[in-house]
Chain A
């Protein structure tokens, strides 16, 4: 009787393990993640970018990219500028898309390049 119940419990436990493994695999692959655009990223003026950054981005990413709670810190890490450009265009997490665009975006990317490792 006890072994029959144990066998019965194995079915939901196996299903739990299977579904969890599928979810973890999908989350690690995250197949629809925005892809970094290929090709060179246009960089503008880092000084102007710093001003735009402090006005637009520092509220979430912190002053000097040191982290501000909502957005991840950007300073002192290997930053993929193509990916940063894609994230600015498409938005990511709490960040709405296209907070900066055109010349301002190129300036901000140039500023971010100065923060990177």
Chain B
């Protein structure tokens, strides 16, 4: 049983510190993932909060392994897509808010991605097709296995493998443009 599962077990038994621990461990990554859909880190923060509320209300039975995080990210993705559907004509933001958004996103990334080289990779990923970006994020930054990533993305495992292969190819091209040696990743 991993740490998150242990925290979740304690939350189910009435210990609220378990919930706090889960949010400490998972919040920033979830916000960054939702941000890949909504493109606004403040909105992503609100939707991540909604995601946690949904999960803690439902209290699904944890089977150990990576299932808890898989649920969390699946619900996070669903919540993000719901938001996009309800807000098709996206709100415009002022230039001041744009600067604040960028600063908050950078701060969040710095907290999540300590290694400089991984930050470079993430910068290159931002230029990819969003489907590629999301798949790579789950597999390489959140360490989901292919089956879990497929569940989160709502695709078959094979389709996800194909997506990740193609994404890696596209990422390689992006990195090579910057003289980055992909094989050293």
Q: Do A and B come from one complex?
A: no
Q: Enumerate chain B interface residues (CB-CB to A < 8 A).
A: none
